[in-house]
Copies of this chain bind each other. A is one copy, B any other.
Amino acid sequence: MTADSLPTAFDLASRQREISVAEFFLKNRHLLGFDSGAKALLTTVKEAVDNALDACEEAGILPEIRIEVKPIPHADDVFVVVVEDNGPGIVESQLSRIFGKLLYGSKFHKLAQSRGQQGMGISAAGMYAQLTTGKPLHVLSRVAGQTRATELYVSIDTAKNRPEMHKKQQVKWNRRHGTRVEAELQGYYQKGPHSIDMYLNQTAIANPHVTLRFENPNDEKLRFIRSVSELPAPPVSVKPHPHGVELGMLIQMLNNTHCRTLLPFLEQEFSRVGRKTARAIIAQAGNRLSARSYPRHIARAQAQALYHAMQEVPVSAPRTDCLVPIGEKQLEAGLRKELKAEFYTVVTRPAAVYRGNPFQVEVAIAYGRPGGVGLEVAADGHIHKAARQRQAAKEEATDASARLLRFANRVPLLYEPGACAITKAVMQTNWRAYGLRQSKGALPIAPMIIMVHIASVWVPFTSEAKEAVAGYAEILKELKLGLQACGRRLASHLRQTRRLQQEYDKRTHIEKHLPQIGNALQDILQLSDTARDKAMSNLDKSLHRRRKIR
């Protein structure tokens, strides 16, 4: 190749092009969770179910969701996925864009907790279906009060990130309101920790108000019926908190506001800023700023002063009614229903903030197998051996690590544990301090399930597939505090269990020698046999009574 044939700056310029976001994610589809057949099938179900749950809850409807995954006969690895909900339905004008355009949705621009946040998932599933089978998504939706449902076949024009409608018509549907989406895609159905079955099981734990019915490719019917018939409180949408705003964002807000002067701008566009705080911020900023400054005319240096003043003036902590944790009671109920154990404890941490976004951590622990150490304290103070003791002891001797269940905004996270802040927090917690075995930097070794939930108006996921939580320092800190609180309670339970065992051993020893003591006393005090037996029985009782078990 000679120097003349090398491209010039002009040649290079002619190759510059805009990249559509759909093309980008089609090429990078592992970023959205479509890198293998098994994951593609799970992700498709997950995105459709998450959307269904969000829609039901937003409209105040107790969710009932039917999921079906069936192999297509005579087609290798091709499945049809159906997810049908009893939600409010989607109006016709929005249908094609919701299912046929990436980065389109209602949840991105508001600060409120929801499962979806990107406006990508279900359209990406459609794009993957189209890529692997060439078939468009088949959608059916009926809005309450309308006589008919809208039926739509839609795919994505990836070069333009635009919906392509193939057929749209009004049809009868016996559901009064709801949405049904059907996709045909290449995939692989598997059991185990990454399965659709597991995802639905864990969804039921974190959402005790939801009923899920699943028919899997093996023709098994799984049912998760709600244990709570009240919806969680609807999360409130909030404004940004002044302490979490960055300079560039402030400049942008100043340019885009509808407020004509600075004082109402501060009051209306920020959370926790009243008249008094707003005036304090303006006074602190100085730089010729006043309550009547026109936001769009504020210069960069003034904006910078305003920004610093917003950080310095004390403002109440962010509102937390935008967050809906599962709640200690509900979480324990959900855990008890799906997992049998000997000891349960749940901690809901107070809300905290990362980069201005409120979030809240919940941790639950289910320890030991049912039956546990197998010792029970009776009402009279006697300790009894329960059945199954030997069995349980044998199981406990195994070297299995604790199982970790991760959740974000009530959605189970099944993939990428290694990249997740939750896993890191569990591994960095010193479980030996709570009486468990643990190798350095590993999960504790115990017959235990640790469940961790993080609720936030914006969960910082490590990728668009929403499989792992990014390790912001504030989040790691809250996670650890929650784990430690649960750990201390577990430690107290384990100490008690151990005391019980020691006490039991001691008493067994005493009881063994009581008859000899009785005989000796009888000789010394010259008692009758009846008097001796009575004295011994009293002694026995008082021994049990005095050595109270906490």
Contacts and interface: CB of A to CB of B under 8 A. Distances in A.
B133 A1 contact: no
Contacts of A7: 58-59, 88
A16 B158 contact: no
B17 A105 contact: yes
A88 B13 CA distance: 11
Contact of A143 (B9, B24, B470): B9
Given A12-B59, A23-B108, A35-B470, A246 B131 contact: yes
Interface in A417-436: 418-419
Interface stretch (A92-100, A201-209, A217-225, A370-378): A92-100
A13 B252 contact: no
Contacts of A159: 252, 256
Contacts of A463: 31, 462-463
A314 interface: no
Nearest to A88: B9
Contacts of A177: 9
A218 B358 CA distance: 37
A222 B91 CA distance: 62
A327 interface: no
A112 to B, nearest CB: 11
Contacts of A28: 460-461, 464
A19 B134 contact: no
B104 A15 contact: no
B134 A12 contact: no
A109 interface: yes
B58 A16 contact: no
Interface string A427-467: 00000000000000000000000000000001011111000
Contacts of A109: 17, 19
Contact of A17 (B27, B104, B135): B104
Given A15-B106, A17-B104, A248 B90 contact: no
A392 interface: no
B108 A16 contact: no
Interface in A456-496: 458, 460-464, 470, 472
Nearest to A35: B470
B304 A55 contact: no
Contact of A103 (B21, B105, B248, B461): B21
Contacts of A472: 30, 35
A35 B9 CA distance: 34
Q: 5 shortest A-B CB distances, which residue pairs?
A: A131-B248, A15-B106, A6-B60, A19-B103, A9-B143
